[in-house]
Structure formats: C-alpha cells, structure tokens
A = this chain, B = another copy of it.
Amino acid sequence: MAALARSPLAVDLPELPPLAGVRFASGEAGIRYRGRTDLVLATFAPGTTVAGVFTSNRCPGAPVDWCRRILPGGTARALVVNAGNANVFTGRAGVETVEQTASAAATLAGCDPSEVFIASTGVIGEVLPVEKITAALPALAGQLSETGWADAARGIMTTDTFPKGAVRTATIGGTPVRIQGIAKGSGMIAPDMATMLCFIATDAALPAPELQALLSAGVRGSFNRTTVDSDTSTSDTVLLFATGGAANPAGADLADFRAALDDLLLDLALQVVRDGEGARKLIRIDVHGAETDASAGRIAMAIANSPLVKTAIAGEDANWGRIVMAVGKSGEPADRDRLCIAVGGTWMARAGTVVPGYDETPVVAHMQGGEIDIAVDLGLGTGRATAWTCDLTHGYIDINGSYRS
C-alpha cells in the first residue's frame, strides 16, 4: 500500500541520549519492506535485569511464548526486533525461527540464548524467513552504538506514521537515574497486558522482581487503558531493562522512580493512540462517580471502544446520546437518572436529561480541535478511571481494507 501520511496528532521524537550499557543497531533485512530499516538489535551490559508484560491474547506469537519462557531468568543481554512479519500462527517453523534467532544473537553478544529477548510485528500467518535475520545480524553487531535509539524507534515501525519515544529522570535514594523507551503500534490496539511493542531501559539498579512489580502496575493505568480499535494483538510486548549503571543504593524508596516510570509509560501509550490508524482526534474519557475504580475502568473502555462514539467524534458531533448508550451497554452499575456527561468541560446532560439551554458554542469549538475531553459522572460512588482512544475515520477503513495487498 502507499505510504501513509503522518498523523495530524503526531508528536516529535524527543532526544534520546545515550544510556550507558545500552547499544542499538538497525538495518535492512528485507523481510517485507523495501528501502527502510526493519531489523533492530540491542545489547545490554552484563548484570542487566529485565521485566516484561505480554498480550493476554490466547493465540500469542512465537516470540511472546519465547519471552515468557525466559523472563523468569531475570537477566537480559540482547534484544532482536523485526518489523513486517509477526511470526504468529506459524507452527513449528515459528518456534525454530525464534530459537535460531536467539542462538545467533547470543553468539554475537557473548551470552546465553536465554538472555536474548525477541519481538516481531507485522503480518500474521506467514513464515518469518529466519535466514534473512541471521544473515543480517553480524553486520548489525558491528554497528552497535549507544546513540542508536532514534534509528531503533524507526526500525520497529509498521503502519506507524511517526517514531515514538520518551525520556524521564528520577532519583532513587538520592541517586539520579534515567528511564527512556521507544514504542510502536497503530492498529490492532486494545492492549490487555501491554500494547504492540515497547522497549524501555533505565540505568537504575533494581532486582528483576521489583522491576516486574513496577512495570505490571504501570501498564494498568497506561497501556491497558488505551484502545485504537478494540482488537487485542497477538504480539503485545513491553520490556523494561535495568542496567544498574546508576549504582543507586539498594532498598531505597522507589516512589519517585515509580512516578517517572508511570508517566513515561503513559506518554508512550498515548503516542501509540496518536498514531491510531486513521486517527485525527485524541480522545480522553474521564469517568468518576462509579461504584468502584474497576467499574469506572470498564465503563471508560466501553465508551472508548464504541464505534458510534468514535465516528460521531470524527464528524465533530458531540453526540452525548451515544455516550449514554455506551455507558449502558458496559453492563456496569449505572443509574440513567443520575448520569451526567460533559464534553470539553461543558455539562450537556445531567441527572437523566439534557441540560436545558446549555451553551453549545464552546462545545462546537472543542469538537473541532484535535484533543477531545469527555467526562462522565455516574453519581453512584467514588470509583474513577481514565481511558484514551482515537476517532474512527475513513483512514482506518482505507488502511485495513488493503493491509496485505
């Protein structure tokens, strides 16, 4: 298909400075695309710990199976990512591709294959030609550089229209640490444990179990509260690598680090939504007054996944009736006669009926913008949650009616 225009919601890739002990190289393996990078190799300093979360899809790809299997080891020395072929539903061939890739990268990195993480993204059901990967890896190993972050962010893209990255700093026990990551994703986005692909590194020194607890908690309010099209991918993977280079004290309070990590995860997740296939508007949905936070979360996601809400917003129509419908279809506790709905800060519906004579002018202006805010008050309790999505446009149909051709 023709190259996609850059999303109108795109943000610029921030400067991703070197992080000691983390090196990247990107190259063209020619797996599916021509004239662009599609293979990324990364290596990590000895002693790097790792945490990961993966798709809840019951038919995961061979790379997801592999990462799940080696994750309990808790250490990582290399990462191999390819774009254009997801190595999903490829049977025994897919398993062998993963094993041979890990083995080849382990030789180059001087580590055990069980320390090589692998992620693939792209078309489902076609055998991934492992020889193209193993042939390209040695050259990449010779080009590894601590300045390779931005090229790596580009090398993992598929239908993405802009590269995605984020940087945060924090302190642990008085020691400054940095966290930075890259992500890709644009369609088949309704992460249930994570989203498409996201790789984060920090120089913090943290044992793998602690790192895992931080990551698992962090994705709950970020990746797991975003959706482009309600379709949970078979390849969702978020990996967090901690080199320990910052030499922060062990056992120190992690509140600042946790806040920075959560903020970075949300930043990357929202960049994925901003690149949602065909997206022209970023939609934030705040639900409060629900019986519980979990109930608020399910209501927010029901609104975020409603094609009727998303097409109305694409048409710049503040159709709050469809928001009522989506609240009701969630199946969560709701009392129609207490329900209040605001768009762009203007309360349009309150206590079961339209607000008489509400001012439409600010609502119309808000709907014409690129960022849409919806607030829902259930009036039942103190449960709250926020979800993010994008609008549903002709662009989504264009992209997905012809992806394979």
A contact residues vs B (CB 8 Å cutoff): 56-60, 86, 88-94, 123-127, 187-188, 190, 192, 229-234, 305-308, 311-312, 314-315, 317, 319-322, 324-334, 336-337, 339, 349, 351-354, 392-394, 396-397, 400-405
Contacts and interface: CB of A to CB of B under 8 A. Distances in A.
A153 to B, nearest CB: 24
Contacts of A317: 401-405
A57 B326 CA distance: 8
Contact of A315 (B127, B324, B349, B400): B400
A58 B125 contact: no
Nearest to A123: B321
Given A312-B403, A317-B403, A393-B401, 10 more contacts: A58-B329, A88-B321, A89-B324, A125-B321, A125-B353, A188-B325, A231-B307, A232-B325, A307-B396, A315-B400
A71 to B, nearest CB: 19
A57 B125 CA distance: 37
Contact of A124 (B322, B401, B404): B322
A58 B328 contact: yes
B59 A327 contact: yes
A280 to B, nearest CB: 11
A397 B394 contact: yes
Contact of A400 (B93, B312, B339, B402): B312
A319 B126 CA distance: 11
Contacts of A327: 58-59
Given A88-B324, A352-B89, A400 B311 contact: yes
Given A58-B336, A91-B353, A321-B125, A229 B404 contact: no
A79 to B, nearest CB: 24
6 contacts: A57-B325, A58-B330, A307-B307, A315-B402, A317-B402, A397-B397
Contacts of A60: 328, 336
A306 B8 CA distance: 25
B329 A231 contact: yes
Contacts of A314: 397, 401
A233 B311 CA distance: 16
Given A231-B308, A329-B231, A334-B58, A320 B125 contact: yes
A324 B231 CA distance: 11
B396 A59 contact: no
